[in-house]
Amino acid sequence: MSRPTLTRRAILGSAAALPLAAVTGPARAAAPMLGAATTRFNRVTLGDFEVTTLLAATMPRPEPQSIFGLNVSAEEFAQVSAANNIPTDQAQFFFTPTVINTGAELVLFDTGLNPEAITGALASAGYTPDQVDVVVITHMHGDHIGGLMGEGAAATFPNARYVTASAEYDHWAAAGNEGFDAKMRPLAEKTEMIGDGASVASGITAMSAAGHTPGHTAYMIESGGKSLVIAADFANHYVWSLGYPDWEVKFDMDKAQAAATRRKVLGMLAADKIPFIGYHMPFPAVGYIETRGDGFQYVPASYQLML
């Protein structure tokens, strides 16, 4: 006997065959439409650490190929997008700082676009700005340093020390930049300038991942025999940049170096099966990497880090 095939037409047809009242139920007041929504924080555990991703902002942006696929044809961009069930006319952007409670210190990685967004997300996760002991800046684009300072040059995190790569600080200090001058330069004396392999706190180690910016740095997080990488902006889109690491991204300052770094970091994450947090991955921004063809595939975490 052949199995009946369940098609969209068959499902809709069977509902349509019912009397209308059976489908709609008795009349009642309509609930208001609330729009698409998500939570603002997601907390997982890693050994003795608590790792919380914070959604500082999310918004749609038009013309994603002009950002994520500079060196490919419109046909290839459309074909890859369709195969992965995402549109080509707009993309949803996410901005996701991470805060880690090591038990000894509360360590925040990046700060979003402005103080209101990061403090709001921290509050939803149960933290206040004065509890932050360390702020680590992965690189100095505006969407990562924007939350450091508010009106009147007031530091958002009054009790924090700061950590960043010296190569990153030195680049922006020499280049000159309005955002850098307003948000980062005033904190220079409180900032520890580090290099590849430096220990930021117990279980938190810097890993140079340059290309996106000259001093862009990822961090290996280790506790209780478990590992996770705070990968920041080494890859900026979960399909276009992970599946096709050589596709050029508008925001990568050195495009060849950024592509080489992507392949190196993605290869390590896939081979060692280490979960990572990507600042611009779809929220809650925690996932794994598998190899696929000549590139890689994003596999969102399920419950692995809840156990």
Q: Given the rule CB under 5 A, which residues bind Zn ion? A: 143, 233
For the bound state, the minimum distance from the C-beta of residue 280 to Zn ion, rounded and expressed in Å, comes to 6
Considering beta carbons, is residue 234 or 244 the nearer one to Zn ion? 234
Q: How far apart, in Å, are the Cα atoms of 113 and each of 26, 56, 58, 131, 212?
A: 47, 8, 11, 20, 18
State the minimum distance, in angstroms, from the CB of residue 236 to Zn ion: 7
> Shortest gap between Cβ of 244 and Zn ion (angstroms)?
19
Give the separation between CA 241 and CA 249, rounded to whole angstroms. 8
Helix (H, G, I), strand (E, B) or coil at 242: helix
Whole-angstrom distance, CA of residue 238 vs CA of residue 276: 12
H or E stretch covering 213: none
The torsion defined by the Cα of 158, 159, 165 and 167, in degrees rounded to 10, comes to 40
Quote the least distance from Cβ 274 to Zn ion, whole Å.
21
CB atoms under 10 Å from CB of 180, counted, come to 19
Phi, psi of 221 (to 5 degrees): -110, 125
Residue with smaller CB distance to Zn ion, 96 or 119: 96
Output 147 or 203, the one with its CB closest to Zn ion.
147
Angle at 54 between CA 91 and CA 108, to 5 degrees: 125
In the complex with Zn ion, the residue whose CB is nearer, 168 or 233, is 233
| Cβ distance to Zn ion smaller for residue 233 or 252 | 233
Give me the least distance between CB of 233 and Zn ion, in Å please: 4
For the bound state, the minimum distance from the C-beta of residue 34 to Zn ion, rounded and expressed in Å, comes to 28
Helices (H), 45-103: 65-68, 74-83
Return the number of the residue (143 or 252) whose C-beta is nearest Zn ion. 143
Instruction: Report which DSSP code applies to 149.
Output: B
User: Min. distance of Cβ 30 from Zn ion in angstroms?
Assistant: 40
Of residues 69 and 112, the one with the C-beta less far from Zn ion: 112
Q: Is the previous residue joined to 60 through a cis bond, with omega within 30 degrees of 0?
A: no
